[in-house]
Amino acid sequence: MAVNQRVNIFDVANQAGVAPSTVSRVLNGSSKVSDSTRARVQLAIELLDFRPSRIASGLSKGRVANVAIIAPYLTRPSVVARVDGALEVFDKRGYQTVLYSAGTPAQASEYVERLMDRHESLGVLVISLPLTEPQLLGFRKSGVELSLVDSYASGVVNVHIDNVRGGWLAADHLIKVGHRRIGIVGDIDNNFHKFRSSQERIYGFTKRLLEEGISLDSSLIRIGKHSPIEGRRMAEELLVRKAPPTALFATSDTHAIGILAALEGLGLSAPDDCAVVGFDDLEVARLLDLSTVRQPLVTSGTVGAERLCDLLEGKSPEPKGLKLDLELVARASTMGKVGVVLGSK
Amino acid sequence: MAVNQRVNIFDVANQAGVAPSTVSRVLNGSSKVSDSTRARVQLAIELLDFRPSRIASGLSKGRVANVAIIAPYLTRPSVVARVDGALEVFDKRGYQTVLYSAGTPAQASEYVERLMDRHESLGVLVISLPLTEPQLLGFRKSGVELSLVDSYASGVVNVHIDNVRGGWLAADHLIKVGHRRIGIVGDIDNNFHKFRSSQERIYGFTKRLLEEGISLDSSLIRIGKHSPIEGRRMAEELLVRKAPPTALFATSDTHAIGILAALEGLGLSAPDDCAVVGFDDLEVARLLDLSTVRQPLVTSGTVGAERLCDLLEGKSPEPKGLKLDLELVARASTMGKVGVVLGSK
DNA sequence: TTGTATGCGTTATCAT
DNA sequence: ATGATAACGCATACAA
């Protein structure tokens, strides 16, 4: 005689004196169950501490309430903020979420391949990762739903920001505060080279400069790995030049705090010696009084997750592409003592 | 006629001209399959792009290769570092991992309850969360394996650090650099009040002080929420006193960077006006040249995950409790220009 | 409203 | 070495 057998609906049915199907009905909240039997069944469930097997249920229904998140570099604050937002939503809406953190594009593709299977998860939330056409096609024919966060593909549900406008806002702010000789510190991602955000921000930045008739000195641009230390190194290079910039734009707060460290290391300070604008508005930005272009990170995760859930429940979110707002947060690193939240869109 | 039917082992069996059970054998790497039929089956699998249903397999086997991670406050750098380490291991060892991020103890308990069910996951990695006796018992009788990271329970596999010693190391360092009037900034966690790490570190710190015959001025202790901003606020309170401390110990780097910000805001600097030691050695610590007690965050995650996997494969990790090493990293915030890694244990 | 029977896609226990 | 078949635990179409 087997020990510790799992309690199943049959046991519950026996205990309650009904048929297994009836138990199943109360489990799934069917309306066609009399209140009295429902009560009896629920009692039996309590009594036996019965927990339905989600995998048996899944096999029977042909679907498990599972979703997956696939993201690069989980440790980056911006990524984890989005993931955290999404996790909360998925949990609230009854989905179990499997997380994949990809360190390389190869690994990302591997995960993507794996997820193109109805029995893995019903839908996947893709964060900050470009999908190839074949991959998109694969999802379409597999029936696994897709929701993109900080990424774009036509015809696919997605939330993103206007990186070009973000860069534009940063430049606009620096120009208004009087700067004309401005340097840029951006990322290059050697692994996921399709990470275009940084480049788009730089594009928008220079666009605003040109509007003002300011020509960009390309020798004032530095591109490096996404880390504060690298940011510091690049900033130092720029700051020790004979004609250093009066302001620096970093395409991420991560680089920006490196810039602030560089200034401090050189005995300089923002904004007097060099103004600094970052991008993201991470928590540290507020601490360091760093002016920055704020993007709604957590919100992007929650919205992306909500829309995936909607998709899974048959509603089709419209419009497919959602553009989240940006706003420039002016703090001491450009304004000195007084910090204010300037205009937005 | 149904469209888009899932291809299953029967289809593969047909295609290959064998029985389903044979397909199952090659799927599970059974040795009792002739090379020729194995080849034929594999060909059929390729041809049909067959992917075995892990939930059907799970139902049949009575176990799915799933594990869960449950952690509080995913967004904290220390937590995400551990999670990231664990994710990599689980993936490498063939497990799918479901992530639960708890914002409150109630939610944590809810997750814990849910996970005490064989069909949810085979094992769970609990990070920085205390488990109650009833909960531990629940896991024991459910057969779901448990591995604790940064947490402890007797008889349960766990990895942790000696927080008391960590505090001791910090004090030891400050004393050796000549400080005697030292303040402390620690966390109180209003949600998970059983978070004792901070208190243990403070205990070890004062212990070292007493050894040296230095009496602790309790008015130099501040306890607050775990955020850099709070750290700054508390540091400011201490620094503007008539007799300010010459050094501050923060029980986390998160608070420590707040202290550095406070110093800067007051026009002071470390270590001349006030030396600072943190705890964790997050990436920012290096950037800010912050002296700190380094604990192996990522390693704690990988080790905890490895041990859970071992458990699931029938090996029992010994010893159950693993204490990870700490080391004091001396940087500019206590040493001025020259930073060195001092001794450890 | 409730019960009966069958299927979901695999694995495992028998045979052969 | 390979094939037939009964579980695994639940949901649902159909009967009653």
Domain membership of residue A2 (yes or no) is no
Cα(A30)–Cα(A38) distance, rounded to whole angstroms?
Answer: 10
Contacts of B81 in chain A (CB under 8 A): 75
Contacts of B54 in chain A (CB under 8 A): 119-120
Q: What is the pLDDT of residue B190?
A: 67
Among A31-35, B2-6, B137-141, name the one with the lowest average pLDDT: B2-6
Sheet strands side by side (includes A221-224):
A221-224, A182-187, A247-250, A275-280, A291-294, A327-330, A340-344
pLDDT tens for each residue of B4-13: 578 999 999 9
Output the pTM of the full model.
Answer: 0.92
Strand D nucleotides where any atom sits below 7 Å of a protein CB: 1-5, 7-13
Looking at the fold, whether A168 and A262 belong to one and the same domain comes out as yes
Looking at the fold, whether A85 and A154 belong to one and the same domain comes out as yes
* Number of independent structural domains in chain B: 3
> pLDDT tier at B188 (50, 70, 90 boundaries)?
confident
Q: What percent of chain A has pLDDT over 70?
A: 94
Q: What is the identity of the amino acid at B146?
A: L
Per-residue pLDDT, averaged over B204-216, amounts to 94
Per-residue pLDDT, averaged over A328-342, amounts to 76
Contacts of A83 in chain B (CB under 8 A): 74
Looking at the fold, whether A334 and A272 belong to one and the same domain comes out as yes
Looking at the fold, whether A92 and A214 belong to one and the same domain comes out as no
Q: What percent of chain B has pLDDT over 70?
A: 94
Nearest CA in chain A to B336: A265
Q: What is the largest CA-CA distance in chain B?
A: 89
Round to a whole number and report the distance in Å from the CA of A43 to the C1' of C2.
Answer: 18
Q: Is the model more confident about B195 or about A309?
A: A309
Domain membership of residue A302 (yes or no) is yes
Among A63-72, B28-37, B52-61, B308-317, name the one with the lowest average pLDDT: B28-37
Q: Is the model more confident about B216 or about B82?
A: B82
In which domain, by residue range, is B35 found? 9-60
**Residue B25 pLDDT exceeds 90:** yes
Long-range contacts of B177-181 (CB under 8 A, 24+ apart): B177/B247, B177/B271, B177/B275, B177/B334, B177/B335, B179/B245, B179/B246, B179/B247, B179/B275, B180/B212, B180/B214, B180/B246, B181/B217, B181/B220, B181/B243, B181/B245, B181/B246, B181/B247
Beta carbons of B101 and A84 less than 8 Å apart: yes
Q: What is the pLDDT of residue B77?
A: 94
Looking at the fold, whether A192 and A212 belong to one and the same domain comes out as yes
Q: Which two tokens stand for residue B157?
A: 């596999």
Beta carbons of B288 and A120 less than 8 Å apart: no
Round to a whole number and report the distance in Å from the CA of A50 to the C1' of C6.
Answer: 24
Q: Is the model more confident about A269 or about A248?
A: A248
pLDDT tens for each residue of B95-134: 999 999 999 999 999 999 999 988 889 999 999 999 999 9
> Does the CB of B77 fall within 7 Å of any strand C atom?
no
Per-residue pLDDT, averaged over A59-81, amounts to 94
Which of A45, A119, A290 is the best mutation test for B, with the most CBs of B within 10 A?
A: A119
Q: What percent of chain A has pLDDT over 90?
A: 82
Beta carbons of B232 and A98 less than 8 Å apart: no
**Residue B2 pLDDT exceeds 60:** no
User: Does residue B66 contact residue B82 with C-beta atoms inside 8 Å?
Assistant: no
Q: In B171-285, which ranges are E strands?
A: 182-187, 221-224, 247-250, 275-280
Looking at the fold, whether A225 and A335 belong to one and the same domain comes out as yes
Round to a whole number and report the distance in Å from the CA of A54 to the C1' of D9.
Answer: 9
Q: Which two tokens stand for residue B317?
A: 């990790």
Domain membership of residue B319 (yes or no) is no
Contacts of A332 in chain B (CB under 8 A): none
Q: Which two tokens stand for residue A189?
A: 């991602």
Q: CATH code at B272?
A: 3.40.50.2300
Looking at the fold, whether A42 and A93 belong to one and the same domain comes out as no
**Residue B338 pLDDT exceeds 60:** no
Q: Which two tokens stand for residue A240?
A: 């020790």
Q: CATH code at A30?
A: 1.10.260.40
Looking at the fold, whether A168 and A184 belong to one and the same domain comes out as yes
> pLDDT tier at B215 (50, 70, 90 boundaries)?
confident
Domain membership of residue A17 (yes or no) is yes
The protein residue nearest D5 (Cα–C1') is B21
Domain membership of residue B101 (yes or no) is yes
pLDDT tens for each residue of A262-302: 998 898 988 999 999 999 999 999 989 999 999 999 999 99
Contacts of B56 in chain A (CB under 8 A): 59, 119
Per-residue pLDDT, averaged over A64-84, amounts to 95
Cα(B116)–Cα(B4) distance, rounded to whole angstroms?
Answer: 36
Which of A53, A75, A141 has the CB atom closest to B80's CB atom?
A: A75
Domain membership of residue A322 (yes or no) is no
Cβ-Cβ pairs closer than 8 A, A with B, add up to: 102
Among A213-227, A241-255, B63-77, B179-193, name the one with the lowest average pLDDT: B179-193
Q: Is the model more confident about A118 or about A76?
A: A76
Domain boundary among B60, B84, B99: B60
Nearest CA in chain B to A230: B287
User: Does residue A256 contact residue A332 with C-beta atoms inside 8 Å?
Assistant: no
Looking at the fold, whether A14 and A41 belong to one and the same domain comes out as yes
Domain membership of residue A4 (yes or no) is no
pLDDT tens for each residue of A140-196: 988 899 999 999 999 999 999 999 999 999 999 999 999 999 999 999 876 665 568
> pLDDT tier at A3 (50, 70, 90 boundaries)?
very low
Cα(B119)–Cα(A56) distance, rounded to whole angstroms?
Answer: 9
Q: What is the pLDDT of residue A109?
A: 94
3-state secondary structure of B328: strand
3-state secondary structure of A291: strand
Looking at the fold, whether A183 and A281 belong to one and the same domain comes out as yes
Per-residue pLDDT, averaged over B254-258, amounts to 96
> Does the CB of A32 fall within 7 Å of any strand C atom?
yes
Looking at the fold, whether A286 and A146 belong to one and the same domain comes out as no
Among A2-6, A331-335, B183-187, name the one with the lowest average pLDDT: A2-6
Q: What is the mean pLDDT of chain B?
A: 92
Q: What is the pLDDT of residue A32?
A: 81
The protein residue nearest D9 (Cα–C1') is A56
Among A45-59, A66-80, B147-161, B187-201, name the one with the lowest average pLDDT: B187-201
C-alpha distances out from residue A98 to A70, A123, B90, B232, Å:
9, 11, 12, 37
Contacts of A250 in chain B (CB under 8 A): none
3-state secondary structure of B195: coil
Domain membership of residue A148 (yes or no) is yes
Cα(A259)–Cα(A276) distance, rounded to whole angstroms?
Answer: 8
- SS3 of chain B: helix, strand, coil, percent, to 5: 45, 20, 35
Per-residue pLDDT, averaged over A304-308, amounts to 98
Looking at the fold, whether A222 and A178 belong to one and the same domain comes out as yes
Beta carbons of B284 and A286 less than 8 Å apart: no
Beta carbons of A117 and B51 less than 8 Å apart: yes
Per-residue pLDDT, averaged over A27-51, amounts to 91
The protein residue nearest D3 (Cα–C1') is B19
Task: Count other Cβ atoms within 10 Å, centred on residue A243.
Answer: 9
Which of A8, A55, A113 is the best mutation test for B, with the most CBs of B within 10 A?
A: A55
Strand C nucleotides where any atom sits below 7 Å of a protein CB: 1-5, 7-13
Per-residue pLDDT, averaged over A317-334, amounts to 95
